[in-house]
Amino acid sequence: MENNIKKKGILVLEDGTKYEACHFGAPKSSAGEVVFNTSMTGYTESLTDPSYNGQILTYTYPIIGNYGVPSLSYDKASIIKFYESNRIQVSGLIISYYSDRPYHWNMSQSLSDWLWKHNVPGLYGVDTRFLAKKLRDQGGSLLGKILIGNERVPFYDPNKNLLSEKVSIKEKMIYGNGKYKVLLVDFGLKNNILRCLLQRDCTIIRVPWNYDFTREKYDGLLISNGPGNPEIYQKPIHYIRNSIEKEIPIFGICLGNQLLGIAAGGTTYKLKYAHRSHNQPVIFLKNGKSYITSQNHGYVLNTHSLSSEWKILFKNLNDDTCEGIIHERKPFFSVQFHPEASSGPTDTEFLFDLFIKSMVQKNN
């Protein structure tokens, strides 16, 4: 399938900018929100991250595809290894240089072949660092489309849709048999969240994004990451508000941070410069330490909209925006970044331990 490489394709942005490049992956046109990622490794994890659903992902690192794609396999808990979901989630891929002779001990196929099988197009030969700078100055993203051959598609804005309908599970699932029962609301969660909880002696009740969990019994509520505009998830926000009233421990991640804030009476706004990288520095206001985090979001909590009972837990060191909140008396907290980040950084994975601690204290 590598014979499609070096055929031409075009990236078109909503502001009229066009980039002619070489095509690889699926021979089809596609549209979505063009965003960027600054990681040097982990493209299989990022491409299968549901938070990127509906987006055309641009990598700033110049060499992509050099270690191919690992085989599809599962761990002892029946969770897919190496991937963050069961399929490629992005609408397209933009890179600077494609390695058409990949090699790795765990490789099963090339990146191009993998994209082809999942019907996802890619372009290479683009100055991705220049493109990332352009996207950054436009709030971290622009609508765009990849055009291959004579096929034409309209622009598509994924933020106008309930994307969790596409990426969340459809029915309740149970994982593990641990001491702590966690109700995990799946808005498009990454598989590594499951692993982080199972490693900490949890039983996980994973439910769809719109599941009414108000009658379920659990020790703690984890609100997952996911794609899209947080303001449109009104039904699950109502359910989260019910858990707040019951004072059950709550931990929110990424979209979960925004939804917890809205349920607590707050609002969100779209960032001028979105946070989309594997190297975002944040400061933990509890101890003054800084951490490097992985992020992919264009919306953020307006902390001025929250009551005085809620405090900022983390702050972004680049723009001082809110990266997490905590209730001053009750067991609720959330973060805007990914403490479960795979392929890293894992500097803030200790937050899962704090979540476990809040459940222990609540039950004692």
Q: Could you list the active site residues?
A: 254
Angle (CA) 159-164-165 rounded to 5° is 110
Q: Which residue has the tokens 């905590």?
A: 326
Residue 222 CA to residue 252 CA, distance in Å, equals 6
User: d(Cα 1, Cα 285) in Å, to the nearest integer?
Assistant: 51
Q: What share of the chain is helix, strand, coil (3-state, %, to 5)?
A: 25, 35, 40
**Burial class, 156, CB count within 10 angstroms (exposed 0-12 / middle 13-18 / buried 19+):** middle
Among candidate residues 279, 273, 300, the one with its CA nearest the CA of residue 291: 279
Pairing of strands 173-175, 202-208: antiparallel
Reply yes or no: is the peptide bond before residue 30 cis, omega within 30 of 0.
Answer: no
Q: Give CA–CA dist 154/58, Å, rounded.
A: 20
Q: Residue 108: CB partners within 8 Å, gap ≥ 6?
A: 68, 69, 70, 71, 72
Write the CB contacts of 215 (distance below 8 Å, at least 6 apart in sequence). Answer: none
Cβ burial 67-94 (10 Å sphere, 16+ → b, else e) = bbbbeeeeeeeeebebbbbeebbbbbbb
Q: Interhelix angle for 234-246 vs 255-263, to 10°?
A: 70
Residue 188 half-sphere exposure toward CB, CA atoms < 13 A: 27
For 233, counting Cβ atoms within 10 Å of its Cβ (0-12 exposed, 13-18 middle, 19+ buried), the class is buried
The Cα–Cα gap between 96 and 89 comes to 20
